[in-house]
Structure 1
Amino acid sequence: MRAVVYDGPFKVSVKQVQQPKIQHPNDVIVKVTSTAICGSDLHMYEGRTAATPGIVFGHENMGVIQEVGAGVSKLKVGDRVVMPFNVGCGHCQNCEEQKSAFCTEVNPGFAGGAYGYVAMGPYMGGQAQFLRVPFADFNALKLPPGREHESDFVLLADIFPTGWHGVSLSGFQPGESIVVFGGGPVGLMAAYSAVLRGASEVYVVDRIKERLDKAKSIGAIPINFDDGDAVEQIIRRRKGKEVDRAVDAVGYQAVEKGGNTEKPNAVLESLVRVVRPTGGVGIPGLYVPSDPGAPDEAAKKGHLMFPFGKFFEKGLTMGTGQCNVKKYNRYLRDMIISGRAKPSFVVSHEIKLDEAPVAYEKFDKRVEGYTKVVIHPND
């Protein structure tokens, strides 16, 4: 089959690779109809991880089941399904407690597994024509047949639940104000989730016009940090008041004004400054235990300066970690079906598999409106 393969920093290509087969009775094989490029893929694409050439990318996957293992009981050939990016076994303690992002069985020695991602287990990615899904009864969420809501449903694999999760991590309650740092796909989904959940005000901080325009289109208030300190802009707009909650949808590659200088703790510092005493922050943005491309020696080891004294003084709470997609995806699916949610507003480009290398380059450079790319590998 054909698949998007990592060749080295800033280079991917479409190559012929071995088509996946049933390896365990609980597996299914899915013919991929849609798969998305994620900002997390760019960490590998840019050489900022330990990813080695040959890995097949793609952790945001959906399609139609082509083959089922003998042990699969809830699924059948022809079912349309979407898979959480995190692979879970369904029966370890964390999976049983709805913490499937931290499954302790699928990736020994590491809490959690995922498709097509470095250090996240032996699971080939889905930016390919076919995908093997392990523990399929647990991991595959059934969808209505056909192609309706295709670009909405594919976002259930990661960014829609992750945005929702970021808001939940902050301790958000309906009627509160919230700021989201980062207007990429996850940040926009966090802002959209806050709107859906009844926020009184939603701010989105970024510097890229297309992202800020998208934020404004859903009723959020765009804040361009190139125009001045984002925290000061927000507090000034609120006549001296801080916000109730904040979400970090940026992670360890945060940048300063102008976008040319990385400052890994920039958003972390802003979170503490912008949230009112006893408020909360949610951090779904990716932070890593080691970063060879970091601007200083401490950050290379995953050690970041954090204003803990002020955090303590204000009595803030913090939630972090990858999204437990299965905790949310069934309900978000039903919101899409009912017409209550349409997350595909973030999708800027839908492409064929051969166009993936160019799409990676443009998405990485944040040019030509590339905000979220969906690949259709079998079109």
Structure 2
Amino acid sequence: MRAVVYEKPFTVSVLEVPKPTILHPDDVIVKGDCSCRWIIDSDLHMYEGRTSAEPGIVFGHENMGIVDEVGGGVTLLKKGDRVVMPFNVACGRCINCEEGRSAFCTVVNPGFVTLMGTYVAMGPYPGGQAEYVRVPFADFNALVLPPGTEHEEDFALLADIFPTGWHGVQLSGFRPGESVVVFGAGPVGLMAAYSAIIRGASNIFVVDRVPERLQKAKEIGATPIDFSASDPVEQILKLRGGKEVDRGVDAVGYQAVTSDGKTEQPNVVLESLIRVVRPTGGLGIPGLYVPNDPGAPDSAAAKGYISFPFGFKLFEKGLSLGTGQCNVKAYNRYLRDLIIAGRAKPSFVVSHNLTLDAAVEAYEKFDKRIDGYTKVLLHP
């Protein structure tokens, strides 16, 4: 089958690789005839050589398609079902899975999060930017969707982006009527802002420097803040008459940059959030932070150590802090039903629909933010 294969930093190719097979009775094989495979910011960490990804792996951790083969132990799925899978693989049986914390499954990968798609040293599963993908623990991991092709782009976002944005708001301790600031207007940041809107936020600020992304934020009803113009915290405080916001979401992570858009400063978003969120407010941090970064700007960040004012402001202001990968299974069926009911349409973030063969060019353009690339959908 054809798949997007990582060769070296800034180089991927569409190559012929072995088609996956059933390896365990709990597996299914999902076919990409009607499926969606996304390119998002998380993929760029590997594409740019900023992870421990090895040459030869198949990219893709957001997968949706049609069940093509079913293992003998699978009871809830059948051939022909339309399904979407969470980006993080889980067993559905351990204590964390039972408590709704599927991102931290202690069976599949007790040391760290395991993703559907070999990603940032997070598991052994080949990715889904391919014509077929094997899904382990399929009864638990595969969410069944209505048959047909309706809501195709919206449902594909249930693999990661929509639940992760929702999770970021949840981690912050948000309550309806509160004000929220989201740093980062990539797909996750836009989904966090959109989730805050759905959940009843009074004011929402979105901080970024890419014009197309800030325009998207404005279109959904958020106030865009261009951090390349001036200090974003000062901009927000001025707009609010000096008042801080109730909740903050970091949708940027470890590759945060200063106002020039080029100089990396891993702690810049965390410091800004601590400054702009009110005393006893909350921070939600779904943005990716890794234990090792080969391209880090300093030796501490290379080992996953990031400095921020814990004692001076975080403790002093009594801020709460929630972080970690999204427990997709805790949210995806409810977000699916919001889509079906017409209460949510997250596909507004989609900028391009392309064939799998266009992946090489798409990665290059998405990395450089050329032609308004905000989120790319690949069709095998």
- Where does residue 169 of structure 1 map in the other structure? 171
Partner in structure 1 of residue 200 of structure 2: 198
CA distance in 1, matches of 2:168, 2:63: 21
- Secondary structure of the 2:73 match is coil
SS at match of 1:81: strand
Q: Could you tell me which runs of 5 or more consecutive residues in structure 2 were left unpaired when the two chains were aligned.
A: none
Alignment of 1:323-342 (within 5 A): 323-342=326-345
Match of 1:317 among 312, 316, 320: 320
The one-character-per-residue Cα deviations of 1:25-49 (angstroms, maximum 9, x if unpaired) are 0100000211111211100000001
Partners of 2:290 and 2:24 lie apart in 1 by 32
* 1:346–1:372 contact (8 Å) kept in structure 2: yes
**What pairs with 1:99-138 in structure 2 (closer than 5 Å)?**
99-138=101-140
1: CA distance, partners of 2:365 / 2:178: 36
C-alpha distance in 2 between matches for 1:293 and 1:30: 35
Residue 250 of structure 1 corresponds to which residue in structure 2?
Answer: 252
Contact 2:164 2:286 in 1 (8 A): yes
Matches within 5 A, 1:56-95: 56-95=58-97
Aligned to 1:6: 6
Q: State the distance in 2 between where 1:319 and 1:159 align.
A: 18
1:107–1:113 contact (8 Å) kept in structure 2 = no
Structure 1 stretch 296-305 or stretch 19-28: which is displaced more?
296-305
Moved more, 286-295 or 73-82: 286-295
Unpaired runs of 5+ residues, structure 1, are: none
State the TM-score, normalizing by the size of structure 1.
0.98
Aligned to 2:297: 295
User: For the residues of structure 2 that align with 1:293 and 1:122, how far apart are their CA atoms?
Assistant: 23
- The superposition leaves residues 256-315 of structure 1 with CA deviations (integer Å, 9 ceiling, x where unpaired) of 011010000000000100000000000000001111111111111111111102100000
Question: For residues 305 and 186 of structure 1, what CA distance do their matches in structure 2 show?
Answer: 24
- Counterpart of 2:357 in structure 1: which amino acid? D
Equivalent-residue separation in structure 2 for 1:160 and 1:225 (angstroms): 24
Instruction: Supply the AA of the counterpart residue of 2:300.
Output: A
* Contact 2:104–2:110 (CA under 8 A) maintained in structure 1: no
1:369 aligns with 2:372: yes
Separation of aligned partners in 1, 2:120 and 2:253: 17
Among residues 21, 44, 52, which one is paired with 2:54 in the alignment?
52
Q: Residue type of the partner of 2:76? A: K
Matching of residue 344 in structure 1 with residue 347 in structure 2: yes
Give the structure-2-normalised TM-score: 0.98
Q: Is the 8 A contact 2:116 2:128 kept in 1?
A: no
Structure 1 pair 315–109 and aligned structure 2 pair: CA distance change class (3 A): closer
Report how far residue 111 of structure 1 moved.
4.3
Question: Partner amino acid for 1:44?
Answer: M
RMSD, matched Cα: 0.8
Aligned partners of 1:89 and 1:135: how far apart in 2? 6
Deviation of 1:253 after TM superposition, in Å, equals 0.3
- Corresponding residue SS for 1:227: coil
Aligned-pair distance for 1:113? Answer: 3.8
Identity of aligned residues (%): 73
- How far apart, CA to CA, are the structure 2 residues paired with 1:178 and 1:356? 35
**What is the distance in 2 between the residues matched to 1:234 and 1:56?**
42
Q: Deviations over 1:137-192 (max 9, x none)?
A: 00000000011110000000000000000000000000000000000000000000
* Residue identity matched to 1:202: I
Looking at structure 1, the residues matched to 166 and 379 of structure 2 have their Cα atoms a distance apart, in angstroms, of 25
